[in-house]
Amino acid sequence: KKSIKNPEGSYTVLIETDPQFLHLSPLNKNQLRQLHNLGLKIEKAFNLPQDIEWAIENDLIYTLQSRPITTLKK
């Protein structure tokens, strides 16, 4: 399933993914590299593993929120 903006509201809805697209990555190699580097920078800044929310628009990556991962067990 994929999450999309609800055309009738301000929230998202889950819809079935077209089977022909199930094997494709929604991100290209450059975007994956950028997200990897962004995650490393944010974790380094906070000195803790982070749960990071992000979005991409017009090929620009935006960090929406970052918070410590609280479910990790030592």
Q: What pLDDT is recorded for position 64?
A: 96
Residue 74: the pLDDT is 67
Q: What is the Cα–Cα distance from 60 to 49, expressed in whole angstroms?
A: 23
Is the pLDDT at 72 greater than 80, yes or no?
A: no
Record the tokens describing residue 28, joined without a space.
Answer: 């290209």
Q: Is the pLDDT of residue 28 over 80?
A: yes
> In this predicted model, what pLDDT tens digit does every residue of 40-64 receive, in sequence order?
999 999 999 999 999 999 989 999 9
**Residues 38, 53 contacting (CB under 8 angstroms):** no
**Encoded amino acid at 18, one letter:** D
Q: What per-residue confidence (pLDDT) applies to 10?
A: 83
**pLDDT in the model for residue 73:** 74
The answer, as to whether pTM is greater than 0.75, is: no
Give the three-class secondary structure for 22.
coil
Q: What is residue 70's three-state secondary structure?
A: coil
